Amino acid sequence: MILIYPPISIPTEPPIGIANLSGALKKHSISHEIVDLNIEGIYWLLNNAYPSEDIWSKRAIKNMEKNIQNIKNGALFKNISRYKKAVYEINRILEIYALKKGIKITLSDYTDKNLSPLRSKDLIDSAKNFKENPFYNFFSERLSFLLSSNSPDFIGLSINYLSQALCAFAIIGFLKSNYRHIKIVVGGGLINSWVKRGMKKDLFNGLIDHIVAGQGESHLLSLLNVKPLHHSVYEPNYERFKKELYLSYGFVLPYSTSTGCYWARCSFCPERAEGNVYIQKKPEVIAQKLTRIVNETKSSLIHITDNAIHPYVLDAIIKNPPCALWYGFVRINKEMEDLDYCIKLKQSGCVMLKIGIESADQDVLRRMKKGLNIETAKKVLKNLKIAGIGTYIYLLFGTPFETDKSHKKTMDFVIEHHDLIDFMNIAIFNMPINTPDNRDIIFKSFYEGDLSLYMDFEHPKGLNRLYVRRFIEKTFKKQTEIKTIIDRQPPFFTSNHAPFFVMAKS
């Protein structure tokens, strides 16, 4: 078995889905290889960049090695201006690589002006014309070499983001043209979303042999005729990743304590729309396992990848800290109103918390079923600041419940509390297809293709996407206090690099 992670996704840590699959295969002593074509492909492009005439590109190539080193040794995280210059230079090399072909590659995205990952026809074209893919020379050589000494029955691709889909299909096209006997299995977050929203499992017949939706471990083992054990006995395996390659300050350990979401009530949440099942590992076991894995992998930081870390897990980590700093997504809970609790979180190694506040209008929060009181949020942000925990706040504009007044309330909230917010993600609402919360909504059309995950809709108060975008760009982002927060945002790497800035400050 070979497991492949295709380009492009943010290259800061190994893909957790493949680490989990590798752990399950190891538990059953099934031999397998892992190829992170994302991180390896990014290095390949950087090292094969064309000499360019413009001064910026020349300088970017000249400084590349030093810039990469300065990410890995942490030197850049003390100064956001130096960091931005270095990151934009690295990105420049990727960006110019295939621009003439209409393909834009960045450190976090892959777009092709002629092909959309939301159209099955375009994905099939990407597979047919695999030689046109900018990574072709790299992945064909890498995989041919691997397959010259390896004869697997299955190759699995983990496709989590739209930015991976076109390259994933090009890789599949290459494999199907040259190794017809190998069965192709695909899974991962994006595949799960497509299947849960009605994609036919035979849509890619001839290219894909098995589509896996949901947790991949048991499906994969069943394909290999192995009876899966209870999910609690499996743990991720990081042995086969080239840890030194990832663009982070030290090795970042991705670790999931759950799948799905323990809350699962927020209106229009894709997790709810997809009906993903919530599976939680035992909190007391997690803390012990983490300590062992951290020691084995010599991790500098743990990225807890859950949609929302359960309060019981936070309690277990406080009781039994994992010997490394950590960060992740949480929902604001009652306990955080207590400053002592936040200080204990900090003492457990918590560097930064990602928090979905979405709106500062209590009526919008109530109708969204966020289970969040904005007054509590204010108190908690203050406690986290005093405790020395960084905050990465997520805001969402344009939900069907919003009015102009709600936008203003959110803006006033951020202005008033700007000194408590370290980083901020601002998003425009997308309406998931198949959402169970669609009463009273008039739907218009699919966004772009037959694999669209979202639908256009008529906003009850007329706040269409264009109107919301204009508010964000022309009003919200122009406020001096808000601009200060936005200017701190690490380009491309966003929340994956934000904890390093918090660490550098303390």
Mind spelling out the 3-state secondary structure of 455-502? EEEECCCCCCHHHHHHHHHHHHHHCHHHHHHHHCCCCCCHHHHHHHHH
453 burial type by CB count under 10 A (0-12 exposed, 13-18 middle, 19+ buried):
buried
Minimal distance in Å, beta carbon 163 to ligand SF4? 21
Residue 336 touching ligand SF4 (CB under 6 A): no
Q: How far apart are CA 464 and CA 269, in angstroms?
A: 19
Question: Min. distance of Cβ 354 from ligand SF4 in angstroms?
Answer: 10
Task: Give the alpha-carbon dihedral of 202, 207, 212, 218, to 10 degrees.
Answer: 120
User: Shortest gap between Cβ of 258 and ligand SF4 (angstroms)?
Assistant: 11
Contacts of 34 (CB under 8 A, 6+ apart): 2, 3, 5, 18, 22, 240, 241
Least distance to ligand SF4 from the beta carbon of 330, Å? 9
Give the tokens for residue 173. Answer: 């096209």
Give least dist CB 254 to ligand SF4, A. 17
Q: How far apart are the first and last CA of the chain?
A: 44
Q: How far is the CB of 272 from ligand SF4 (least distance, A)?
A: 6
- Does the protein bind ligand SF4 through residue 266 (CB under 6 A)? yes
Stretch that binds ligand SF4, among 228-236, 269-277, 375-383, 482-490 (CB under 6 A): 269-277
Under rule CB under 6 A, how many of the chain's residues touch ligand SF4? Answer: 12
Stretch that binds ligand SF4, among 240-248, 261-269, 442-450, 456-464 (CB under 6 A): 261-269
Question: Does residue 278 touch ligand SF4 according to CB under 6 A?
Answer: no
Q: Does 279 bind ligand SF4 (CB under 6 A)?
A: no
Q: Shortest gap between Cβ of 436 and ligand SF4 (angstroms)?
A: 12
β-pairing, 431-432 with 454-458? antiparallel
Q: For ligand SF4, which stretch binds (CB under 6 A), given 116-124, 262-270, 418-426, 474-482?
A: 262-270
Number of H helices, E strands in the chain: 19, 18
159 DSSP assignment = -
- Single-letter amino acid, residue 132: E
307 binds ligand SF4 (CB under 6 A): yes
In the region spanning residues 406 to 445, those forming contacts with ligand SF4, defined by CB under 6 A, are none
| Closer residue to ligand SF4 (CB): 261 or 451 | 261
With respect to ligand SF4, which residue has the nearer C-beta, 331 or 409? 331
Residue 261 in the binding site for ligand SF4 (CB under 6 A):
yes
Query: Is residue 432 left, alpha or beta, with left meaning phi > 0 and alpha meaning psi from -120 to 50?
Result: beta
- Dist CA 48 CA 94 (whole Å): 10
Per-residue mark of binding to ligand SF4, 349-368 (x: CB under 6 A): -------x------------
209 binds ligand SF4 (CB under 6 A): no
CB of 396 vs ligand SF4, minimal distance in Å = 9
Q: By CB under 6 A, which span of 1-9, 63-71, 263-271, 386-394 interacts with ligand SF4? A: 263-271
Q: Are 213 and 197 in contact (CB under 8 A)?
A: no
Nearest Cα to Cα of residue 106 among 168, 153, 38? 38
- What residues line the site for ligand SF4 (CB under 6 A)? 261, 263-266, 269, 271-272, 307-308, 331, 356
